[in-house]
Amino acid sequence: MKVLVTGAWGMLANDLAPVLSERGYEVFAPPEDMLDVTHLDTVRGVVDSYEPEMIVNCAAYTKVDEAEKEEHQALMVNGFGVQNLCLVCQERDIPLVHFSTDYVFDGTKEGPYTIDDEPNPLGAYGCSKLLGEKYMLGLLSKFYLIRTSWLFGHHGRNFIETMLELGQRQKKISVVADQRGCPTWTRHLAEAVVALIQTGRYGIYHITNSEPATWFDFAQEIFRLSRMDIELVPITSDQFPTPARRPLNSVLAPFPLPQLLGREMPSWREALQEYLQQRNAVKRAGV
């Protein structure tokens, strides 16, 4: 099956495209300058010439704090860009795989957010992602709308790299300990996404590594596994103000993915361990 992947240079696309190829899909992943999702004519042109049987949208505006000032740009990519892809998928009667975020929720719920909980984003990024969700639900019947959270991967800036860099420079680091979510490795997400699309069961899904954590828990495990002796200080979100407010609880409930695939996602601790092993192997090899 021919699959068009957008946002090819992003963190998730860099893991998803190879997993699709490994599973026998024929992947075309053009860079943003060839496929800007905010231009309907460009999207149509690429789809007309490549004739994919499915589109996987990894293109996104993902700068959560900058979005507060660049709301228009975030809406263009995460809202209207998704609308463009939906229109083209509708015209060709092909499915769209699209990613959304835990930040569509306000974080006031006690327990994990389920796929039928009502979104209520706190910031401009979450609002723009919610607009994309709305276009998808309104325009398409053949779709996989996948919410995920707290991504880390080898091909992008992420919390692990930020912590390890900080750990080289300081012995004491303050980390937010009152936000709960599910850290997720893009490689595990990519494998689950490909397994999901092989089922043909369209719908809304939550895909994250299992078990919740705070940023503090995550940092603790990063330094423990990296054998770095860092004094971590737990702080509240109020003590670490950012332009965009983040939900205090954005843990996503996995139902119905485990029932469908017959397995749970690996825990974020296992994911982190494997990520660090791969990272260190690459560093040792000097690649």
Ligand X SMILES: NC(=O)c1ccc[n+]([C@@H]2O[C@H](COP(=O)([O-])OP(=O)(O)OC[C@H]3O[C@@H](n4cnc5c(N)ncnc54)[C@H](OP(=O)(O)O)[C@@H]3O)[C@@H](O)[C@H]2O)c1
Active site residues: 125
If you write DSSP's letter for every residue of 18-48 in order, what string do you get? Answer: HHHHHTT-EEE---TTT--TT-HHHHHHHHH
Say whether residue 101 binds ligand X (CB under 6 A). Answer: yes
Report, in Å, the least distance between residue 39 CB and ligand X.
Answer: 8
Residue 213 sits in the site that holds ligand X (CB under 6 A)? no
Neighbouring residues of 62: CB distance < 8 A, sequence distance ≥ 6: 10, 125
Asked if 244 is part of the footprint of ligand X (rule: CB under 6 A), the reply reads no
Distance CA 49, CA 67 (A): 33
Would you count residue 107 as binding ligand X (CB under 6 A)? Answer: no
Check binding of 58 to ligand X (CB under 6 A). yes
Site string for ligand X, 169-208 (x = CB under 6 A): ----------------------------------------
* Closest approach of ligand X to the CB of residue 256, in Å: 19
Could you please report the per-residue DSSP string of 213-272? EEHHHHHHHHHHHTT---EEEEE-GGGS--SS---SB-PBP-TTHHHHHTSPPPBHHHHH
Antiparallel, parallel or unpaired: β 184-185 and 151-152: parallel
Q: Does 59 bind ligand X (CB under 6 A)?
A: yes
Cβ–Cβ < 8 Å for 37, 212: no
Shortest Å distance, C-beta 268 to ligand X: 13
Q: Which residues contact 24 (CB under 8 A, 6 or more apart)?
A: 1
Which residues ranging from 5 to 44 are in contact with ligand X (CB under 6 A)? 6-7, 9-12, 32, 35-38
Query: Is 3 in a helix, a strand, or coil?
Result: strand
Contact status: 81 vs ligand X (CB under 6 A):
yes
Q: Kindly tell me which of 61 and 216 has the beta carbon lying closer to ligand X.
A: 61
Instruction: Quickly tell me which residue has 């306000």 as its tokens.
Output: 106
Residue 48 CB neighbours (<10 A): 11
Q: Determine the residue with CB nearest ligand X.
A: 10
**Chosen residue from 25, 150, 215, 218 binding ligand X by CB under 6 A:** 150
- Binding of residue 119 to ligand X (CB under 6 A): no
CB atoms within 10 A of CB 87: 16
Separation of first and last alpha carbons in the chain: 33
Residue 62 binds ligand X (CB under 6 A):
yes
Least spacing, CB of residue 277 vs ligand X, in Å: 21
Residues 214-233, one symbol each (x = binds ligand X by CB under 6 A, - = not), give: --------------------
Question: Per rule CB under 6 A, is residue 61 in the interface with ligand X?
Answer: yes
Using rule CB under 6 A, residue 99 touches ligand X? yes
List residues binding ligand X (CB under 6 A). 6-7, 9-12, 32, 35-38, 58-62, 77, 81, 99, 101, 129, 148-151, 156
